[in-house]
Amino acid sequence: MTTKYFNVKNGLSAGNITLDASSGNISTTNISVTNISNLGNVGNVKITGGTNGYVLQTDGSGNLSWAVQGGGGGGTPGGSNTQVQYNNIGAFGGSVGFTYDNTSNTLSVPNIQVNSLSNLGNISNVIITGGTSGYVLQTNGSGNLSWTAPGGGTDTGQMPYYIPSGTTYTVQENRQGLFSIPITVDGDLVVNGILVQV
C-alpha cells in the first residue's frame, strides 16, 4: 500500500489519499466535492451502518443518518401479523385491537370516532347486534343508543305500526287521529280493560 499526494482541483479537495495497488482501492480521511459527484451504478456504492430496510435521511444541513423508512412499503413492520400499521413517533406501530383480515376483508377496531359525516351506504350493509325483532334504536339525548320496544310503556307520541308481544302501548285520550294507519299487534289487544283481539 502506497501513500501518494494528488493534485486536486475543480472543486475537489482531500487530505492524504492512499492507493492500494493490489485492490485498486483509494482511501482518504475527508473529501469535499463542490460540483457533481458521479458515483456510477448503485451497486458500486457502499455506506456502512444502518439496519436492513433503513433509508438514508438528511437533516437538511447535509448530515446523513440511517432511519426507519416512513413510507413506500419499506422498513420493518411494527406489531404482529394482521395489525394495521400507523406512525408511532416516526416509527411503524401496531395495535392488538386494530387489525385487518384480508381473507374476510374485515377491519377490526375497538373504538372509532367520526367528526364529520358517516356514510354507511345501503341499510342492508348496516348490522347492529343486540335487541329483539321489531325493536328500535332509542337515544338518551347524549348520543348513547339502546334497543327498545317501539311505543313501550305509556308513550304519548306517534303510535307504532307494530307492537311486539309482551309490550304495552297506552294511547292518551287526545290521540284518536292516530288510528288512521294500520297497526299490527303481536299478542293481546286490550281496550279499556276489555280483550279485543288475541
More reliable by pLDDT, 67 or 165? 67
Query: For the chain, what is the domain count?
Result: 3
What pairs with residue 100 in β-bridges?
107
Does any domain span residue 33?
yes
* Whole-number Å distance between alpha carbons of 188 and 175: 20
What pairs with residue 86 in β-bridges?
93
Does any domain span residue 29?
yes
Does any domain span residue 13?
yes
Does any domain span residue 116?
no
Q: Are 78 and 88 in contact (CB under 8 A)?
A: yes
Q: Once rounded to an integer, what is the mean pLDDT over residues 118-137? A: 87
Write out pLDDT tens, residues 58-94.
888 888 998 877 655 556 788 889 999 888 888 888 9
For residues 61 and 24, state if they share a domain: no
More reliable by pLDDT, 158 or 56? 56
Does any domain span residue 73?
yes
* Whole-number Å distance between alpha carbons of 86 and 75: 13
Eight-class DSSP state of 80: S
> Could you tell me the residue range of the domain that residue 172 belongs to?
162-197
* Whole-number Å distance between alpha carbons of 153 and 167: 7
